[in-house]
Amino acid sequence: MQNGRRKTRIVKIGNVPVGYPYPVSIQSMTNTDTKNVKATLTQIKELYHLGCQIVRVALPDIESAKAVKNIIAETPVPIIGDIHFDYRIAIESIKSGIHAIRINPGNIGSEEKVKAVAEAAGAASIPIRVGANTGSLAREFQLKKEESEEKYDKAERTAESLVKSALKQCEILEKYSFKNIKVSLKASDVLTTFLAYKKFASLTDYPLHLGVTEAGTNFRSSIKSSIGIGSLLMLGIGDTIRVSVTGSPLEEIKIAQTILESVGQREAAPEIISCPTCARTTTDIIGLVNKLEAYIESLKLKGLKFKPFTLAIMGCAVNGPGEAKEADLGIAGASGKFVLFKKGKLLPRSYTGEEAYSMLESEIKRYQIL
Amino acid sequence: MQNGRRKTRIVKIGNVPVGYPYPVSIQSMTNTDTKNVKATLTQIKELYHLGCQIVRVALPDIESAKAVKNIIAETPVPIIGDIHFDYRIAIESIKSGIHAIRINPGNIGSEEKVKAVAEAAGAASIPIRVGANTGSLAREFQLKKEESEEKYDKAERTAESLVKSALKQCEILEKYSFKNIKVSLKASDVLTTFLAYKKFASLTDYPLHLGVTEAGTNFRSSIKSSIGIGSLLMLGIGDTIRVSVTGSPLEEIKIAQTILESVGQREAAPEIISCPTCARTTTDIIGLVNKLEAYIESLKLKGLKFKPFTLAIMGCAVNGPGEAKEADLGIAGASGKFVLFKKGKLLPRSYTGEEAYSMLESEIKRYQIL
């Protein structure tokens, strides 16, 4: 990471340590009814299967906080309870053995109630995530609407509000000697998100939960989340991430993993380098790559795991041989056929598209972790 | 932009100025046979329709460089010729009236040949994009394979090579008093890309063409390109961008636009803020947002344009009312129904999903540019 990763305290969510120097972990959140233990556990297991390491469940009522006990009994990953408005739900979920809770001390009510939650979490030695969110800033931190129109100024001042709000939430807990804290500062605006985390990171050593909130559908969220989360990770900021998608939470995990791979926090297995094609392309590169990606996806959904390796699939002689030589298996188009490079060595004949594809399939199998 | 945008020289590609303080422009590249003028023009017009401002075409041979004359006669956007290996193609394309060329002086051959291209481009007053690419670095800039294994170190040293290679390419042209230059430094690795552009930006005032090269399919490229391009734009670096997708170039434009919107370089029209849903969600938010996005997409493909506005579609009372109040039209789920906010004002009744959707449709129409 650039200038190294930010040094932080460490919090432990179940068996997953969050903070420097531990790997940046992937979170998601179920969208089933938490009281429906079976449906929720099914989704948790699917998420785990794809690489999710921590799952958050919403606890909108006492019944959910009770039901979560049965989820915890069988979950393969630690569970965070997401609680708003009612401190009794937090207390109940701690009784149920929740691994961490996420609250906003600002909407939990009186200091007495916050104190009760902090004491219960302290006694159970579980962390609390606090965090500001532009959608629910306390009145004292809200910007007046007319104050700023210019986009960057507005982002900067909103970020300032998020930072102040999050600091205040930390202070409330610190007052009760509670420091087992993880922090988030979420905005649906990417620039605001970036500025808020950057500022907060410079002021405390709490580990950070990164995310762009309410980022939209798969398409839009993959872009907004990648910029927001990715740019912070490249600065060494961020200890656990959650990609927010209006859609299946399983998509969140795929995006999160690719973000971590892209910033060098995980090894891609495989990394596929493929060119955009142009007038130089005389072979069906697009078809080949799509078929390959679908094949790898199908293997991963079956639970197969792979060692890191790189495949380069390139259309022509401009960057083709260069990229192909760097890859574990490289394929470069050449006058309607393909030439192959294995570990940088050019194989002595040319191949049809079908032959090239079957070489790719067998190469992939070689990297499977048995 | 953070700390303001980087100050640069300006180059003019046809009628599109590239450099500070002009807006960051979107480029793409056709993947038709350039000699097929009709097919290439059709793709150029589709790209233009979606918001592409500059189109690059590959010119692998002299015939393509001749054919491009007929493309230039009818194109709605400026055309860049992409030339490798043969300087005569560059000269021929300049005769055809090309608006700019992209060459790698390193693979064009002797200095005499580079000089001939620089003189022809100078006489025609057209810019040259030069640029280093990890797939085609000259031998003198290539890293020895065993030199580095650690990912960040390797990225840093590869970035250094890209910068040196690009600087050398600039120097070759500068020797012939040619400074009408735009520069790219491309790697398929995001971290390398980020470090290379950041370094180069600090050393020269040439405008920069940003892109992560060979970024893969739609899914992978939207993540890699967003991190690479987005993080640089947030630092004020970058004057024109190209998202590379192994697929239809039309997808490149949609991703590029969303990147520019996300970093505040363009106003989204509309910006859709929508929550990931959770156990609190009692309404079909995912269905509503997907239907809405498909509807907007269909209008845009028909060529309709919209003024910037924000729609927030939220599942519950935690962040729902907050986000909804900030938006031009906000919808928040509440016990199986929806409440609506128009310009921050709560409307006095609740709505079914169908009613809410038709409110959204008519709101969208209000923002159409006629």
User: The tokens of A1 are what?
Assistant: 């990471």
Whether residue A254 sits in one domain with residue A286: no
Dihedral (CA of B322, B325, B328, B333) sign: positive
pLDDT of residue A145: 63
Our CA-based measurement puts residue B160 at a distance from the nearest CA of chain A, in whole angstroms, of 14
Does B2 contact A217 at a Cβ distance shorter than 8 Å? no
Residues of A in contact with B258 (CB under 8 A): 219-220, 223-224
DSSP letter for each residue of A7-21: P---EEETTEEESTT
Co-location of A278 and A336 in the same domain: yes
Does this complex have an ipTM over 0.90?
Answer: yes
Q: Cα(first)–Cα(last) distance of chain B, in Å?
A: 31
Band of residue A2 on the pLDDT scale cut at 50, 70, 90? very low
Query: Is it the case that residue B161 has pLDDT exceeding 80?
Result: yes
Residue B337 lies in a domain: yes
B95 and B142 in a single domain? The answer is yes
Checking if the pLDDT of B162 tops 90, the result is yes
Residue-level pLDDT at A22: 97
Whether B6 maps to a domain, the answer reads no
Last residue of a domain, one of A219, A240, A262: A262
Rounded to an integer, the average pLDDT of B34-54 is 95
Q: Do A262 and B190 touch (CB under 8 A)?
A: yes
- For residue B145 the two structure tokens come to 């394979």
| Interface with A, mutate which of B34, B149, B318 (most A CBs under 10 A) | B318
Question: Under an 8 A CB cutoff, do B293 and A217 touch?
Answer: yes
Q: What is the per-residue pLDDT across A30-88, written as a single tens digit (0 to 9) for each?
A: 999 999 999 999 999 999 988 999 999 999 999 999 999 999 999 999 999 999 989 99
Q: Are strands A240-242 and A209-210 parallel, antiparallel or unpaired?
A: parallel
- Give CA separation, A57 vs A101, A212, B273, in Å: 10, 18, 21
Residues A214 and A346 in one domain: no
Q: How far apart are CA B154 and CA B160, in angstroms?
A: 10
Residue A21 has pLDDT above 90, yes or no: yes
Minimal C-alpha gap between B25 and chain A (Å)? 18
pLDDT at A228: 97
B81-91 average pLDDT score: 95
Q: Per-residue confidence at B33, pLDDT binned at 50, 70, 90? A: very high
Q: Is residue A4 part of a domain?
A: no
pLDDT at residue A149, as a whole number: 63
Number of domains in chain B: 2
- Tell whether B216 and B350 lie within a shared domain: no
Domain co-membership, A282 together with A353: yes
Q: Are residues B155 and B295 in the same domain?
A: no
Lowest mean pLDDT among A207-211, A366-370, B43-47, B230-234: A366-370
Same domain for A231 and A277, yes or no, is no
Q: Smallest CA–CA separation between A226 and chain B, in Å?
A: 5
The tens digit of pLDDT for each residue in A214-264 reads: 889 999 999 999 999 999 999 999 999 999 999 989 899 999 999 999 999
Which pLDDT score, from 0 to 100, does residue A1 have? 46
End position of a domain, from candidates A262, A294, A322: A262
Q: How far is CA B67 from the centre of its chain?
A: 26
User: Are B215 and B326 members of one domain?
Assistant: no
Give the span between the Cα atoms of A329 and A342, in whole angstroms.
Answer: 5
Whether pLDDT at A20 is above 90: yes
**Residue B334 confidence (pLDDT):** 79
CA separation for the pair A274, A289 (Å, rounded): 7
Q: Please indicate, yes or no, whether residues A180 and A227 belong to a single structural domain of this protein.
A: yes
Give the residue from A36, A310, A319 with the most B CB atoms within 10 Å of its CB, the best one to mutate: A319
The pLDDT assigned to A147 comes to 56
Together in a domain, B25 and B135: yes
Lowest mean pLDDT, pick from A217-231, B74-88, B341-355: B341-355
**What average pLDDT does chain A have?**
91
Residue B188 contacts residue B136 (beta carbons within 8 Å): no
In one letter, which amino acid is B184? Answer: S
**pLDDT of residue A133 exceeding 90:** no
Which CATH number characterizes residue A364's domain? 3.30.413.10
Residue ending a domain, among A207, A232, A262, is A262
> Would residue B222 count as lying in a domain?
yes
**Residue B148 confidence (pLDDT):** 53
Label the pairing between strands A11-13 and B11-13.
unpaired
- Given A246, A259, A316, which is nearest B285 (Cβ)? A246
Q: Out of A291-300, B63-72, B311-320, B328-337, give the one with best mean pLDDT.
A: B63-72
Size of interface A-B (CB pairs under 8 A): 262
Give a yes or no: residue B5 inside a domain. no
Helix axes B218-234, A218-234, angle to 10 degrees: 50
Is residue B59 in some structural domain? Answer: yes
The verdict on residue B326 lying in a domain is yes
Higher pLDDT, A219 or B138: A219
Q: What percent of chain B has pLDDT over 70?
A: 98
Res B141: pLDDT: 78
* Same domain flag for B215 and B249: yes
According to the model, what pLDDT value does residue A298 have?
87
Residue of A nearest to B55 (CA): A278
Count CB neighbours of A207 within 10 A.
Answer: 23
Task: Print the domain residue range for A349.
Answer: 271-369
Kindly report the CATH number assigned to the domain that includes residue A247. Answer: 3.20.20.20
- The mean per-residue pLDDT over the stretch B304-318 comes to 87
The residues, ordered by sequence, that sit 6+ positions from A91 with a Cβ below 8 Å of its Cβ are A116, A117, A120
Measured between alpha carbons, how far is A351 from A359 in angstroms, rounded to an integer? 10
Tell me if A155 sits within 8 A of A191, measured CB to CB. yes
Asked if the structure places residue B1 within a domain, the reply is no
pLDDT score at A7? 97
> How far is the alpha carbon of B370 from chain A, nearest alpha carbon, in Å?
25
* Closest partner CB to A227 (pick from B230, B285, B319): B230
Residue of A nearest to B278 (CA): A31
